[in-house]
Amino acid sequence: MTDHLHRFHFQQAPVRGHWVDITSTMARIEAAQQPPAPVRRALAEMVAVVSMLAHDIKFEGSVMLQSRGDGPLHTAMAECRDKRWLRAIARSTALAEDQPFAELIGNGQLAISLIPKDGEIYQGMVGLDHPTLSENIETYFATSEQLETRIRVVTTPTRTVGCLLQRLPTNPESNEIEEEADDEGWQRVTLLFETTKDTELLELSPTQFLKRLFPTDPIFLDDALPLEFRCTCSREKSVKILQTLTREEIDEALASDGFLEVVCEFCESRHRFSGVEIYTAIEGRRPPVH
Ligand SMILES: [Zn+2]
């Protein structure tokens, strides 16, 4: 089964949510980057979170999470473009096996960016006060957006599944009794959500999962929306990278290998250029005459 996301909403509580499976995307990322286990887990959580947040935004564009810090995971990035295309990358040094997300980053920053196709980029800073990414994102939404959110991501070497719940704003015309009913509805649903076992997320279909956790709640589950790993690298972009090299650097690489190759760090695609191709691609320069 390819990666996919289901939206759902509760019919009798002010709650909507997303259920996501990004197992195939993580397999692609792992094959290309072979991250150590704690970095793989951090990337899995980041990719699951951006894919779910991307389905909350109203515009066309991307959602990106980027971290930078003095911990062993010094940079990481995950993005979901057009509610469908996923990719991620991490750079790390030696790590301990069981470090939680915030410790992996150390002293640093985690930024969430909303990048519309047209219009201005919005960037928010996510605090790193809690051990997991999910908890920090929940706090970010509660404080910066006044949106109560619960996120759970479970990842193993063979499967990554996530679920997000968000409280819908109370109707401004509601009376006190209706507001109280909304509060109670949200609290009841989140208490049940907190009982989620890893195996329930990993082993049950979204329909079974929601039935198991919320047996008395009528929940409307939308059809699956496909998600897929896809990189943005290309031969044209590789040319731009080659244009930053000096003539000496190019000559040196050609002399030793006979070609130059630009390897994408996200997907491991290799764009290979012969001497003639390089010099014609770069500003239309001709190969040097020796
Ligand atoms: Zn690529």
Ligand 1 centroid to 20 CA: how many Å?
Answer: 23
* 156 CA from centroid of ligand 1 (Å): 24
Q: Ligand 1 center to residue 239 CA distance, Å?
A: 14
Tell me, in angstroms, the distance from the centre of ligand 1 to residue 56's CA.
26
Domains of the chain in sequence order: 4-229 (3.55.30.10), 235-281 (3.90.1280.10)
The Cα 112–Cα 79 span in angstroms is 10
CA of residue 238 to ligand 1 center, whole Å = 10
Could you tell me if 90 and 73 are in contact, meaning their C-beta atoms sit under 8 angstroms apart? yes
Q: Ligand 1 mean position to 87 CA, how many Å?
A: 9
Per-residue tokens: 241: 């990278």
CA distances from 268 to 1, 32, 52, 230, 262 (A): 23, 5, 26, 12, 9
Ligand 1 midpoint to CA 147 (Å): 35
Q: From the CA of 243, how far away is ligand 1's center (Å)?
A: 18
CB 215 within 8 A of CB 203: no
Residue 268 CA to ligand 1 centre (angstroms): 6
What letter would DSSP give residue 222?
P
> Ligand 1 centroid to 266 CA: how many Å?
5
Cα 113 to ligand 1 centroid, rounded to whole Å: 21
Mention every residue, 6+ apart, whose C-beta is less than 8 A from residue 126: 65, 110, 111, 112, 136, 137, 139, 140
| Mean pLDDT score, 33-43 | 93
Residue 271 CA to ligand 1 center (angstroms) comes to: 10
Distance 206 CA to ligand 1 centre (A): 31
pLDDT in tens, 172-201: 898 999 999 999 999 999 999 999 999 999
3-state secondary structure of 11: coil
Please give the distance, rounded to the nearest whole angstrom, from the Cα atom of residue 58 to the centre of ligand 1: 27
Classified as helix, coil or strand, 110 is strand
**Each residue of 260-271: pLDDT tens digit?**
999 998 998 999
Ligand 1 center to 55 CA (angstroms) = 24
The pTM score is 0.91
CA distance 260 to 80: 31
What pLDDT band is residue 287 in, cutting at 50, 70 and 90? Answer: low
For residue 262, how far is its CA from the centre of ligand 1 (angstroms)? 10
67-123 pLDDT tens trace: 999 999 999 999 999 999 999 999 998 776 778 999 999 999 999 999 999 999 999
Q: Percent helix, strand, coil in the chain (nearest 5)?
A: 35, 30, 35
Q: What is the Cα 253 distance to its own chain's centre?
A: 35
CA of 154 to the centre of ligand 1 (A): 26
Contact 92, 35 (CB under 8 A): yes
- Per-residue pLDDT tens over the stretch 4-30: 999 999 999 999 999 999 999 999 999
Ligand 1: distance of its center to the CA of 67 in Å?
20
d(CA 241, ligand 1 centre) in Å: 13
> What distance, in Å, lies between the first and last C-alpha atoms of the chain?
55
Q: Ligand 1: distance of its center to the CA of 68 in Å?
A: 21
Q: What pLDDT does residue 94 have? A: 73
Ligand 1 centroid to Cα of residue 233, in Å, is 4
Name the H helices within the chain: 23-33, 37-54, 101-105, 133-144, 176-193, 198-203, 206-213, 235-242, 247-257, 275-281
User: Which residue, among 70, 65, 64, has the nearest Cα to 92 in the 3D structure?
Assistant: 70
The three-class DSSP label of residue 229 is strand
CA atoms within 13 A on the CB side of 119: 12
